[in-house]
Amino acid sequence: MAWPGGALLALLVAAAVPRATAARAVATSNPIRRVVTMLQMMQEKVTFEGQKEEKLFEQFMCHCDSSETALQKSIGQAETKLPELESSIKESQAEAEHLKADLGDGKTDLQEAEEALQQNQQISEKEHQGALKEISDTQSNIKALDKAIKALEKGSSGAFLQTSAAATLRQLSVSMDMSTSDRDMISAFLSQGQTDSADPRSSEVVGILKQMQEEMMARLAEVQEQDAVAMNQTADMVKAKTEQITALKRQINSKTGRLGELAVDTVNLQADLDDTSKSLEQDRKFLAVLQAGCSKKKAEWTEREKTRAQELQAITATIKVLNDDEALTLFKKTLPSPSFLQVQSNHRRGVQQQALRALQAAKRAGRGQHGSRLDLVAMALRAKKASFFKVIKMIDDMIALLAKEQTDDAKKKDYCKSELDQSAEAIQEAKLDISDMGKAIEEAKQKIATLTEEVGALSQGIQQLDKQVADSTTQRKEEHADYVEKLGTNSATQELLQTAKKILNKFYNPKLAAAESSESQDQGNFFAQLSDEHAGRAPDPAPPETWSGEYKKETEAYGGVIEMLDQLSEDLAKDTQELQVNEKNGQAQYEEAMKDATAKRASDARVISEKEAVKAEIEARLHKMNQERKSKVKEHRALKEYAKDMHSACDWLLENFDVRKEARANEVESLHQAKAVLSGASYS
């Protein structure tokens, strides 16, 4: 059976006693009693080491539980987030496809509208030019007829026939719709000579010309009216088409911008999905390593508890053998068992427990608001060398902080009420509709808030990971220091066991002792001192009767002790080897855990950097949208945003002001109770 090296710490302490003390102990004790004393010290040390290892094990398991809880939480959040990200990506892609289809239809409608506008404008212009030409021609014809009528009425037909108006009249006689007799009469008039002689038919010709003039004037008015109506209709059509084209362009630009935003959002969501997947994979790997290490440590602890129980049983049995009545009769002198354990004062421990209960009450009263600070005070109070003055100072600082927070809350409450009332009145005076860009701004803000929360969660995870790494490092240092201490103890114990064997061999087996290569100087001094003591005594005048016959040595008991000492030495060697193996395994586990923790930290830091980059991009886009929207929504938007910010900053405070005030009062009262306990007052 192997004996844990921690159980032999007493032997190291014995080895550290000054040589003079060791010499006196040898001079006043026998070898068997020394072994018994050593075994009793071993028994105490086994119990002490068991308690110490149990504390280390509990700390290690606490680390396992907290780390596993944090990882399980991170894994759960990632498993919940992955489907949401995948759904968001699909929604963004579906919306993008829908926008692309809408853009295609919109561009087609825009092209058709522009072509229709151009075609209608061309037709309208052509009709307008035709109307203008007809108006101009009609006006010229009317003037020609007017000249002809005046010439005939004055009897100056010959002079008229020499003018260009007569040529125009000839064309009209051919092109205008009139009766054959009228056309013949006009033709005859135009064909007469260039004399101004009176023509009996001139009155009839004048009548025909006036009728033609009236028809032309009626036609002129009709054409002018039709042209004006056509121009108005064209203007209305151009206006309607222009508005339609403008609306289509606005829709196309808006959807194109939204399509670009969706493309950026999809890329960001995909990056977030990849990062979350990688983080989930690393968390699962780290959790597997953690669970394996913790399970192994549990198994090791179970085995060590079993071995320690066997060791205590063996030590108890050995002490029982060595404390046999016959042995006690032969060896009456004993060594006082030095006490190496320092017992903490019960009063101090009671004060600490009462103060800790008061701190827990303060933590509950504060609803976790100052949990980390109270935990620091509790840690300082639990320290082995805790200074009550230092803890009282920390409590005073906490009370001052709570008072300052209450004052700040009261000031902020008054400020919030005033600002909210003023902003509510100002908002009522402004009336302006909020455009679609407002929704985009709110969406961007939500994304920023989500990213901020995610970055905060990742940062907190890194802080927790750093703390876990620090705790693991401290744990490893303690285990290594314990290993070095036990290794030194084992070495010193081996030397003491060999010394004990040499002493027994010198008495029970002188030949074997003479064959030894050397003896310790302490043993020589011991026997020399015995000789000196006997040499300095005067012989008794009449010695009393004593035993008869030769002295019988306890050879049989000697052999048993030697065998036990050899067994102890062998078990000690095995324990040393086990210590070395455990140290190597513990160091390997620590290095693997540090490697995984470093990889996870680097991954989370990279994810934080990417999310902050995305956040900065969205914030820049939000700033641009705010600038574009500022000119449109003006004062109403600013007031509404300000009111929203104020509600965001103030609503929770206003709703919870009384609750927070009462919680702080209870927390301060509990802190005063803790301070009173530490200062000497009673507290139950």
pLDDT exceeding 90 applies to what percent of the chain?
Answer: 4
pTM assigned to the model: 0.45
Residue 97's pLDDT is 92
- Are 451 and 399 contained in the same domain? yes
Tell me how crowded residue 331 is: count the other CB atoms within 10 A of its CB.
Answer: 17
- Are 418 and 394 contained in the same domain? yes
Residue 529's pLDDT is 42
Question: For residue 446, what are the CA distances in angstroms to 262, 407, 441?
Answer: 15, 32, 9
- Are 478 and 566 contained in the same domain? yes
Looking from the CA of 159 toward its CB, the CA atoms found within 13 Å total 9
For 644, phi then psi, to 5°, come to -65, -45
Q: What type of residue is 281?
A: E
Q: Which of 511, 629, 509, 488 is nearest to 572 (CA)?
A: 488
- Are 127 and 92 contained in the same domain? no
- Are 229 and 303 contained in the same domain? no
Residue 338's pLDDT is 37
Residue 545 maps to a domain: no
Tell me how crowded residue 7 is: count the other CB atoms within 10 A of its CB.
Answer: 29
Q: Are 444 and 625 in contact (CB under 8 A)?
A: yes
Residue 367's pLDDT is 52
- Are 199 and 307 contained in the same domain? no
Q: How far apart are CA 81 and CA 92, in angstroms?
A: 16
Residue 650 maps to a domain: yes
Secondary structure of residue 309 in the 3-state scheme: helix
pLDDT in tens, 39-58: 788 788 888 888 888 888 88
The DSSP line for 537-590 is: SPPPSSPPP---SPPPP-HHHHHHHHHHHHHHHHHHHHHHHHHHHHHHHHHHHH
Question: For residue 599, what are the CA distances in angstroms to 74, 493, 603?
Answer: 16, 44, 6
The DSSP line for 609-630 is: HHHHHHHHHHHHHHHHHHHHHH
Domain residues for the domain of 558 are: 5-99+265-330+349-510+553-679
- Work out the end-to-end distance of the chain between its first and last CA atoms, rounded to an integer number of angstroms: 49
Q: Which residue has the higher pLDDT, 208 or 520?
A: 208
- Are 486 and 577 contained in the same domain? yes
Residue 216 maps to a domain: yes
Q: What type of residue is 377?
A: V
Given 200, 233, 257, the domain boundary residue is 257
Torsion, CA 95, CA 100, CA 102, CA 108, rounded to 10: 180
The angle, 0 to 180 degrees and rounded to 10, between the axes of the packed helices 388-429 and 371-382 is: 180
Q: How far apart are CA 469 and CA 467, in angstroms?
A: 5
Residue 628 maps to a domain: yes
Q: Are 490 and 578 in contact (CB under 8 A)?
A: no
Residue 547's pLDDT is 40
The whole-chain average pLDDT of the chain stands at 75
Residue 171 maps to a domain: yes
Residue 83's pLDDT is 93
Given 257, 292, 317, the domain boundary residue is 257
> How deeply is 437 buried, as exposed, middle or buried, from its count of CB atoms within 10 A (0-12, 13-18, 19+)?
middle
pLDDT in tens, 9-29: 333 333 333 333 443 443 344
Sign of CA dihedral 76, 77, 82, 83: positive
Q: Are 146 and 213 in contact (CB under 8 A)?
A: yes
Q: How far apart are CA 623 and CA 107, in angstroms?
A: 30
When pLDDT is averaged across residues 430-459 and rounded to a whole number, the result is 80
- Are 237 and 283 contained in the same domain? no
Asked if pLDDT for residue 178 goes beyond 80, the answer is: no
Residue 375 maps to a domain: yes
Rg (CA), the chain: 56
Given 257, 278, 310, the domain boundary residue is 257
- Are 298 and 432 contained in the same domain? yes
pLDDT in tens, 311-321: 788 878 877 76
- Are 419 and 566 contained in the same domain? yes
Residue 636 maps to a domain: yes
Q: How far apart are CA 88 and CA 265, in angstroms?
A: 9
Number of domains in the chain: 2
- Are 292 and 186 contained in the same domain? no
Asked if pLDDT for residue 637 goes beyond 80, the answer is: no
- Are 93 and 229 contained in the same domain? no
When pLDDT is averaged across residues 406-417 and rounded to a whole number, the result is 84
Instruction: Give per-residue burial for 209-238: e unless 16+ CB within 10 Å, then b.
Output: beebbebbeeebeebeeebeeeeeebeeee
Residue 150 maps to a domain: yes
Q: How far apart are CA 228 and CA 249, in angstroms?
A: 31
